[in-house]
Structure 1
Amino acid sequence: MRRDHDALQRQTQHHGMRKGFDDCRANYPLRREFATLNVQLSGEALVLEGILRGAGFNVSSN
């Protein structure tokens, strides 16, 4: 969060609020959401199924 705040401050100081905000949004680092990822479990790893589902992953088993 601090990194986001600092980047926004820098951009708005150099380019003004509107362009600074637009630049921050356009160059924001890619973030992956757990729900977009599929995890396949087998063997002893099956004990992790509940934890992974709880975190939002899509889980399947062999």
Structure 2
Amino acid sequence: MTHPDGRNDDDEHRRPELIRQNRVERRRAKIREEIERNRRGEYSVPTWVLTLALVLVVGGWLALVFLS
């Protein structure tokens, strides 16, 4: 529908304040869902943490082999 000043209803949904607000609300919902999953025990370790642990273990083992 068109407003008397010539704006469309769709224009109201594209205002920067609403876009920013929607983005903040989605981010909060995502964080809330992650906290709920973690409380239920569905926590998983991020891949980069597992990769870092593997690199440290292999690097330590290689250092032990070559430096001793």
Q: TM-score range by the shorter chain?
A: under 0.3
Structure possessing the higher radius of gyration over alpha carbons: 2
Structure with the higher fraction of residues in strand conformation: 1
Structure with the higher fraction of residues in helix conformation: 2
TM-score (norm 2): 0.23
Report 1 or 2 for greater relative contact order, CA contacts < 8 Å, sequence distance ≥ 6: 1
